[in-house]
Amino acid sequence: MSAAAISVRGIGKHFGMLKVLGDIGFEVGEGEVVALLGASGCGKSTLLNIVAGLAAPDAGDLWLHGERAVGHDERRSLAYMFQEDRLLPWRSVRANIEFALEAMRPRLSARERRERAATTLETVGLAAFAEHHPHQLSGGMRSRAALARSLVGQPGILLMDEPFSKLDPQTRAQMHSEVLRLKTLRPTTILFVTHDVEEAIVLADRVIVLAPRPGRVREIVNVSLPRPRSATDADVAEAIRRLRLLV
């Protein structure tokens, strides 16, 4: 059996006296889409930051593709889409994406960077807006730009922390379809954080339900409904209803 893309083993974390995460363990298979679902403050962002290497756990360890992840080297293939889009306001969309690519792949030539940025912007439907600045874009377009920035380095693993929570429901649904469409173009493992039960059911193959104080795994739910999934479908609505009872 091949190694899991992500293996979280006995992770614990304190902030001072506050025990935020207690003995968390789960795996994410290659190509799987997994949601971390839990109430605000239960430690979802802290856990994702630990996977990303932005925070260190006090206990346990993390394995990526069968390798123990101790630093940045094992996280080469990982991209992180934050809760805020974090686009640099003084740079065009294209320049934002080239800048991110330069940090991820410093050996690429300027020409290669430009070509890859253009291709990625085309993929997310933003080619016509490459020279726009972030303030000139709608919320949905900014979200696409942030997604393009995450994907331009061709990550094997994409982490997302409530990336669509500020969008209106219609734009959020469009971004969900977009993420799933992009995943069919290039195989990617996705681990994302949400407090939105509907988002978890629409996107995920499996949902890890976290309990708070300290954050720990309460339940793992398989979602085997066919895609695309819409909350207006009876079986999807039923899965949402059942998951709500667990959160």
Ligand X SMILES: Nc1ncnc2c1ncn2[C@@H]1O[C@H](COP(=O)(O)OP(=O)(O)O)[C@@H](O)[C@H]1O
Answer yes or no whether residue 8 interacts with ligand X by CB under 6 A: no
Residue type at 188 in one-letter notation: T
Answer yes or no whether residue 123 interacts with Mg ion by CB under 5 A: no
Among 20, 37, 42, 45, binds Mg ion (CB under 5 A): 45
Comparing every residue's Cβ against Mg ion, the nearest one is 45
Among 4, 33, 35, 42, binds ligand X (CB under 6 A): 42
Question: Binding string to Mg ion for residues 1 to 40, with x set by CB under 5 A, is what?
Answer: ----------------------------------------
Q: Please tell me the total number of residues recorded for the chain in this structure.
A: 247
- CB-wise, 2 or 40, nearer to ligand X? 40
162's CB contacts (< 8 A; 6+ apart) are 44, 83, 192, 193, 194, 195, 196
Q: Which tokens is 198 given?
A: 């509907």
Query: Of the candidates 185, 182, 215, which has an alpha carbon nearest to the alpha carbon of residue 36?
Result: 215
- CB-wise, 44 or 176, nearer to ligand X? 44
- In the complex, least distance from residue 67 CB atom to ligand X, rounded to whole angstroms: 25
Question: Are 48 and 191 contacting, i.e. CB atoms less than 8 angstroms apart?
Answer: yes
Answer yes or no whether residue 194 interacts with ligand X by CB under 6 A: no
User: How many chain residues touch Mg ion (CB under 5 A)?
Assistant: 1
Answer yes or no whether residue 44 interacts with ligand X by CB under 6 A: yes
Question: Are 108 and 101 contacting, i.e. CB atoms less than 8 angstroms apart?
Answer: yes
Question: Are 40 and 193 contacting, i.e. CB atoms less than 8 angstroms apart?
Answer: no
- In the complex, least distance from residue 196 CB atom to ligand X, rounded to whole angstroms: 13
